[in-house]
Amino acid sequence: MAATTFLFVPGDRPDRFGKAAAAGADVVILDLEDAVAPAAKDSARAAAGDWLERHDAMVRINPPGTPWFEADAALVAARGVPVVVPKAENPGMLAGFREVVALVETARGVERAGELAAVASVTRLAFGHVDLAAELGVAPEDREPFAYARSRLVIASAAAGIAPPVDGVTTDLRDDARLEADVRYARRLGFGGKLCVHPRQVAPVRAGFAPTGAELDWARRVVTAGDAVSLVDGRMVDKPVLARARRILGE
């Protein structure tokens, strides 16, 4: 099953790297971009490099066109680790990396989602709605302005044959109900994971993306019914329904 929990940790806080690794997230992302002030970029890169000599992690580098991009890209290449590329808009900028999560957070990136997902090195798309909200002039807490963008990433991922996209962060760390609602909404749209900004978000996000007991029970009954067209709970079961049941079961 594809990763569902992606936990950011500031690259200039090496004292938190171990705590992030122990939080149980599927992926830890050492963040060299938004979490790090310009004056600390070089020291953050050095700290990330030291950690990656002994541990596995993903790195969010600074965007192409910034003064730090080349050095960040060199670090990722030297350590051979997966990379989160922010402000992903240009498919050609992604091809040089070994394994990429393309963070789509601009209008241009949304419109080119299909091209980004089709790059051979891209394994996931991720959605950066906070940055997109600033570009669009809307509130990041309002889901409605981003329905099209989210669906665009889901369709682009499916068309490219890669894992479902990763939804953006829930910024209010105190609102557990909001986090759970955000996960339900993202899963309903077809997302397969979520970016987390604090270790306490990891467990709820994982639970929210896991199949429910009812879904697992339904999937087992569908698979047991076999490949032929049949009825389960009074509803027709054919090949697409069977495929969905097998995905739920991780087959």
The phi-psi region of residue 48 (left if phi > 0; otherwise alpha if psi is between -120 and 50; otherwise beta) is alpha
Residue 79 annotated as part of some ligand binding site:
no
DSSP strands (E only) in the chain: 5-10, 27-31, 58-60, 83-85, 100-104, 122-127, 166-167, 193-196, 230-232, 235-237
120 in Cβ contact with 80 (< 8 Å): no
Q: How far apart are CA 144 and CA 128, in angstroms?
A: 15
Q: Residue 195: name the closest of 113, 250, 126 by CA.
A: 126
Residue 215 annotated as part of some ligand binding site:
no
Residue 60 annotated as part of some ligand binding site:
yes
What type of residue is 246?
Answer: R
75 in Cβ contact with 53 (< 8 Å): no
Q: How far apart are CA 164 and CA 121, in angstroms?
A: 15
Determine the straight-line distance between the first and last CA of the chain, rounded to whole angstroms.
9
Residues annotated as binding site for Mg(2+)? 105, 131
Residues annotated as binding site for substrate? 60, 105
Residues annotated as binding site? 60, 105, 131
